[in-house]
Amino acid sequence: MSFTYATLKTAIQDYTENDETTFTNNLSIFVKNAEELILKNVQLTEFRKNTTGTMTSSNQYLGSPTDFLAPFSLSFTSSSVKTFLELKDVNFIQTFNPNSSTTGSPRYYALFDTDNFLIGPTPDSNYAVELHYYYRPASLTAAGDSGTTWLSTNAPVALLYGSLIEAYTFMKGEPELLMDYQKRFMESLSGLKSFGEAKEVTDGYRTGLVLREKT
């Protein structure tokens, strides 16, 4: 089973038995919210990429890509030596480096807001950086009625039940049915997560990478 945007919209209306105008006008929002739920709960290698940039001397902020969803790793290079920064929260970095004018070799980074990382200590030089991250792919809603995406092709069950959760919440539907949709959504996420982890292990063996311990 897979969905185009048109067939997913039809499925949502069929399951909810609702074709009221206000409801159908919000179908795109239901789908986008479902996509966001999936992407934030399951990190798949299909949605991982890297980019390069520059940390600026005396600037504690580093801009994030426009499609950034979650970090995988951040490193900088100095004298041909690559150093990986440790991910912390903003409070940790502000406590560690309370005076942003105090500079040094960066050790930590945090998600400051939707557009920037916070670096600690504040860089003492311009450094070439490389960010590996999970990105937010284009939504199915942007593909047109006949369009498909990786999620609509490879995770159609999760996308359907995630959309139904959003739809039934909008409708203030029966709690029992909403709970059933939530259960089915979580089951599909579990299967998707297992798929992603199995693929990561397989890719690791193929490339000879040292595997990260699963927790």
Q: Give the model confidence (pLDDT) of 155-205 as tens digits.
A: 999 999 999 999 999 999 999 999 999 999 999 999 898 876 655 544 444
Residues 20, 77, single domain; the answer is no
42 closest CA partner among 69, 65, 3, 68 = 69
Q: How far is 182 from 194, CA to CA, in rounded Å? A: 18
Residues 147, 197, single domain; the answer is yes
Based on its alpha-carbon atoms, the radius of gyration of the chain, rounded to whole angstroms, reads 21
Question: Which region, left, alpha or beta, applies to residue 208 given φ > 0 means left and ψ of -120 to 50 means alpha?
Answer: left
Count of structural domains, the chain: 2
Q: How far is 90 from 110, CA to CA, in rounded Å? A: 6
Residues 65, 129, single domain; the answer is yes
Residues 37, 58, single domain; the answer is no
**Tell me, what's the pLDDT at 7?**
98
- Helical H segments across the chain, by residue range: 5-16, 21-25, 27-41, 90-96, 150-154, 156-171, 175-207
What number is the average pLDDT over the span 23-39? 97
Residue 126 — pLDDT band, cuts 50, 70, 90? very high
Burial pattern 53-73, b for ≥16 Cβ within 10 A else e, equals: eebbeeebbbebeeebbebee
Domain that holds residue 70: 47-135
> Is 163 among the domain residues?
yes
pLDDT > 90 in the chain, percent: 85
Is the entire prediction scored with pTM above 0.75? yes
Which of 94, 111, 135 is the last residue before a domain boundary?
135
Q: What residues does 114 pair with on adjacent strands? A: none
> Is 215 among the domain residues?
no
Which of 118, 135, 152 is the last residue before a domain boundary?
135
Strand pairing category for 127-135 and 68-78: antiparallel
